[in-house]
Structures are given as C-alpha cells and as structure tokens.
Structure 1
Amino acid sequence: MRNRGRLVAAVAAGVAAVVLTWLYISIREASLLSQSEPQMVVVSKVDIPGNSVIDAGMFELKPVPSAFAQPRVVTKPEDVQGRVATVPIAAGSQILATMLGDESEGALAYEVPSGQRALSIAAADVMGVGGLVRPGNRVDIIGTFEYGRPTGISQNGTISYADERTETRLMMQDVRVLAVDKEHRRRGAPPRPVPTAEAAAEAAATPEPDIRNVTVLVSLRQAQELILAQEIGTLTLALRSNLDGGRVENLPNLDPITLLGVQTPVKRRPQPVWRELRGGGF
C-alpha cells in the first residue's frame, strides 16, 4: 500500500509538471506572437534635415513587428505631412512625435519658400474681404488710387488739386493667402470638413469677427508695391475660385469716365455700395 501511494504521488507530480510546462510554453508563445504582429508606422524615405517642412515624398507607411515599434512612433501620415522636423531624421528611421515641431510654433515661417515673403495687409486698408477669405484661398489684389495736379495750399494747410481722377488697376493675380488674423492652416493639412446643415445655419446666425489683417505670399518686389499701395490708395481682395489657375493679361486700368462712358468728370461717392468680388475671375 505504501508503494502504491508513492506511485500515485509521483504520477500526480509528473502530471502537474507537464501541465505547468504546457501553460508556461503557451503563455510565452502568445507573448512572442503578439510581439511579432506587424504594426504600421511612419518611416522616413530620405534623410530629412532639421528645421525643414516634411512633405509626402519624404516618408512612407511600413509594417514592423510590434516589439520593434518605438515609443511615440507616428502611425498616421496626416500627422507628419506639413510638419517641421525639429531634428535631422535619417532615412529608414521611424518618425517619432518628439521629432516634430508643434504647428503653432513658427510654422508660418516654414510656409514661405525661398525668395518670397509673407506680408500682412491691414484690414483698414483692405476692402472686399467681408470675413470670407480664409487661409489657403487665392485672391487677386486690386488697387484704387486718386491722382491730381497740386495747384496750391490754402491758409489752413489744405492742398488743392486740379485734374483730379480716380483709377482702379489689377495689381496682382492668384496670390495665396497664408493667414487671416492669427488663423493659419499649415500646408498639406486636410481641408475643413463640410459643415452639416444645422452647423451652417448656426454659423450664419453668428456674426463674423472683424478681420484685422490678411497675410499673403508675395515676392520681395511685390511686397514693396503693396506697402506703397497701402500708403497712397485702397486695396481690394477679390476671392478666386480654387479651380481657376488662369491669368488675365493686359487688363486695362479703369477710371470713372471709362466706366460710365462719359466725357465729364464724375463725382465720387464717399464709399462704394459693394466692393466684394467672388468667383472665378474677371
């Protein structure tokens, strides 16, 4: 009887050892399998210099084993495109969130290509905006100027002019709007979703805040022209269609006499009734 009891105990111990070994192997196998499951991460295709804007051609999605995915690795392409690399990123490296600059930290400066300038136009000098221009839109810039030949100065210091006339001219076409006030949408960012009918109705009932300035992308020479135009005249922004990339060539300047087809001088109104233009061009 004693030997039989020892035999039963030995068999039970062996079975327990087998069961425990099987459980251990199963747990390890599941752990290794979970670590080897592929995870899609964003990887750089080329060497990306520091302080440069990352575009779609610089990165790609690649599967890597979960065990080899770095902490805070980026998994969505839209979280990388248009962002700024704060450090150099070697080709083939996983792109981490810590390598990307926040879009609010000087991102506008990275939107300006070499040789061009971002110029803010004060809204007091810009007519025709009407709260409708948004970052990413393209506009034509029209200037209105008054001409006259000085003939003398009155006792109160007022200068009198002869042959006064007003003229409007198309100054620049297809100019990109970088920012409106402090609102800026980085290059490559997805467009805003189309609002629902309820949201659109609510937005229509809410008055638009006054726009104080509009920042446009121009050449250095164009920046000079716009700065001078603000000092001597009035600027109007005409909103273009996003589908219209054409240009109007040799558009003549327009004055009141040509507009109305008369030969006598036209008396000016203090302010025009409506000066906002929207659509695909002229």
Structure 2
Amino acid sequence: MKAKGMGFLLVAMLAGLAAVVLGVRWLQAKSASDGNGIAVAAVELQLGSRIAPAAIRLVEWPSGSIPNGAFTDLSKLDGRVAITGIQPGEPILESRLAPDGTKGGLSAVVPEGKRAITVRVNDVIGVAGFTLPGNYVDIMVNTENTGANRNNEDQMISKIVLERILVLAVAQEANRDETKPKVVNAVTLEVTPEQAERLDLARSVGNLSLVLRNQIDSNPTDTAGITKAMLLRTSVEAPVAPQSPPAKPAAPRRPAAKPRTETPAPAPTPEPAPKQQVCVEVIRGVSKVNECF
C-alpha cells in the first residue's frame, strides 16, 4: 500500500514537471509568433560610434511596453551611428541615432545648424578638469576696454560673452558617461555660426575662461562686465577746474556835486563778479562723463 502511494506521488510530480515544460515552450512560441523582440545593445556603444552586428542582439519585450522608435530587425541597425552613449541591455531607439547614412565621429553628434569649435584650455581655464562632455559652460574674456584711456584704471575689463555652451568633447574623448575630472589641453564646444565668430574673436583679443554652470540652469544673465576701478572700488580724481580771471575793480566814485534844483542821477551799480565754474568727472558703469556747474 505504501509502495502504491509512492508511485502515485511520483506520477504526479512527473506530470507537473511536464506541464511546466510545455507551458514555458508555449509561452516562448507565442512570444516569437507575436514578434515582440526588440534590439538592445550587447556591448557599450560610445557616442559617435558606428553600430556593428556583433554589438547588438534581439531580446523579448512585453508587447504593451515596447518604446517608440525601437527596432525589431537587426539588419536596419547595421552601420548606424549613436549620438548618445548606450549601455549594454538598453534598447536602441531611433532618437538616439544619427540620420541614416551619417558617417561616424564627432560630426555625427553636431546637430543641424550648429558647429563645433575647439578652444585651448589648461587646468585653471578648464575648471580643474571638471569640464566634461555634456556639461554647459559660460565663456568669459579678459581684454582691454576700448573705451578707456591709456592711463586710466578702467583699461582692462572682464566680461561674459557667451552663455550656456554645450561641451561636446574634451581632448579626443566625447564619452558623456564619465564623471571623473580629467585635465586636458583642449575643449570642443557646440555653437551657432554667430557664436563661433564671437568666440574666435574673443580668444584673439584676450584671455578666455570657462565658467561651469548647472545642467538645468537656463536663465540668461546680463552683466556689464567689471573693470579694475570697479573691482577695487576706487574713483578717478576730478580734473582741476580752470582759474577764472579776477573781477575788475569798480570805478572810483566822484565827490558829490553841490545840490541843485534837479534831482541827481543815481550812482551806477558795480557789476557782479563772474561766477566761478567747477567741473567734475562722473563714472557710470564703464563710461565717464564731465559735468560742470
């Protein structure tokens, strides 16, 4: 009797195992028939790299949560260029790829209507190596103030000339997934054609500095720049006012004549001395104005 019970238990276990195997196979067959496989990265794809067949694979994905722009045919990804870094296992979407036919490299990352320009930096100008691809910076130039006199303390000025400029690459690396600071000697920036002209002129007339800003801070700033006099809070001495000519002495009064029958004419009133004029030099921002009173 005991042996008979063990036999029934063994048969039930085998039947359960067979049901599990058949269920798994049925689910796999159904998923394959539904075509829910999408392309994901098999290895890390660097920004600007071309996608090879060995770098991608097809995985099953729930039909109700397939992202927009996903690929179900691996052959359509052969030779496409990634414009962002893609980690292994991440779905490869159309929005993360350059247009079909684009060649690899940094040029594939530059959007239409924008340009890439490289500026030379060091450990100070490059914010101690914290300027990384994907960061935003402001460009500040220190140069000679064209409106200042040669011997004026306002001869030098520092001014932000470009704001919220995207860093495309540092040196020859464009990977945006790294956060470790790296001291380099060149930084490539994404600019418009007009910004490229301003930046090229700025680096030829003065010294450039990169100012790192918050990633989500898009508020523009409007500064007038700062000069040496403003920095040290000094004032320019007012020029010496010119000396006015001395007033002419009044003519001596003649002795009074003997009284006559007619009324004598009143004595002439002496002319008032001319008012002395004082001039001072007033500084407003980076301009100077002479005012006299």
Tell me the C-alpha RMSD between the 2 structures. Answer: 4.4
1:42 aligned partner, one-letter code: I
Q: Does the C-alpha gap of structure 1 residues 121 and 185 become closer, same or farther in structure 2, counting only changes over 3 Å?
A: same
Q: In structure 1, what is the Cα distance between the partners aligned to 2:232 and 2:99? A: 56
CA distances 1:184-207 after superposition (whole Å, capped 9, x unpaired): 137xxxx55x8xxxxxxxx7xxxx
Which residue of the other structure, out of 206, 218, 224, is the alignment partner of 1:252?
A: 224
Q: Does the C-alpha gap of structure 1 residues 58 and 264 become closer, same or farther in structure 2, counting only changes over 3 Å?
A: same
Work out the number of aligned pairs and report it: 179
Q: Does the C-alpha gap of structure 1 residues 136 and 209 become closer, same or farther in structure 2, counting only changes over 3 Å?
A: closer
Q: Which has the higher strand share?
A: 1
1:259 aligned partner, one-letter code: L
Matching residue of 1:41: 37
Matching residue of 1:239: 212
How far apart are 1:83 and its partner, in Å? 2.7
2:228 aligned partner, one-letter code: P
Q: TM-score, with normalisation over the residues of structure 2?
A: 0.49
- State the secondary structure of the residue aligned to 1:259: helix
Matching residue of 1:24: none
Q: Does 1:114 align with 2:138?
A: no
Q: Does the C-alpha gap of structure 1 residues 70 and 126 become closer, same or farther in structure 2, counting only changes over 3 Å?
A: closer
Q: In structure 2, what is the Cα distance between the partners aligned to 1:209 and 1:123? A: 12
Q: Which has the higher helix share?
A: 1
Q: In structure 2, what is the Cα distance between the partners aligned to 1:70 and 1:184? A: 26
Mapping of residues 91-240 of structure 1, within 5 Å:
105-106=104-105, 108-123=106-121, 127-147=125-145, 162-163=151-152, 165-185=155-175, 191=177, 210-240=183-213
CA distances 1:89-141 after superposition (whole Å, capped 9, x unpaired): xxxxxxxxxxx97xxx31x2122222221111111597252101110001111
Q: Does the C-alpha gap of structure 1 residues 261 and 115 become closer, same or farther in structure 2, counting only changes over 3 Å?
A: same
Q: TM-score, with normalisation over the residues of structure 1?
A: 0.50
CA distances 1:21-63 after superposition (whole Å, capped 9, x unpaired): xxxxxxxx998875443464338xxxxxxxxx9xx9861377x
1:256 aligned partner, one-letter code: K
- State the secondary structure of the residue aligned to 2:198: helix
2:70 aligned partner, one-letter code: E
Q: Does the C-alpha gap of structure 1 residues 222 and 71 become closer, same or farther in structure 2, counting only changes over 3 Å?
A: closer
Q: Does the C-alpha gap of structure 1 residues 124 and 76 become closer, same or farther in structure 2, counting only changes over 3 Å?
A: closer
Q: In structure 1, what is the Cα distance between the partners aligned to 2:126 and 2:74? A: 51
Q: In structure 1, what is the Cα distance between the partners aligned to 2:169 and 2:137? A: 13
Gaps of 5+ in 2: 1-22, 40-49, 51-65, 79-87, 238-293
1:211 aligned partner, one-letter code: V
Q: In structure 2, what is the Cα distance between the partners aligned to 1:70 and 1:128? A: 41
Q: Does the C-alpha gap of structure 1 residues 84 and 145 become closer, same or farther in structure 2, counting only changes over 3 Å?
A: same
CA contact (8 A) 2:71 2:92 kept: no
- State the secondary structure of the residue aligned to 2:217: coil
Q: Does the C-alpha gap of structure 1 residues 225 and 263 become closer, same or farther in structure 2, counting only changes over 3 Å?
A: same
- State the secondary structure of the residue aligned to 2:129: coil
Which residue of the other structure, out of 227, 235, 238, is the alignment partner of 1:263?
A: 235
Matching residue of 2:44: none
CA contact (8 A) 1:125 1:230 kept: no
Gaps of 5+ in 1: 1-28, 44-52, 63-68, 88-99, 152-160, 195-202, 266-282
Q: Does 1:83 align with 2:67?
A: no
How far apart are 1:219 and its partner, in Å? 1.1
Q: In structure 1, what is the Cα distance between the partners aligned to 2:182 and 2:89? A: 34
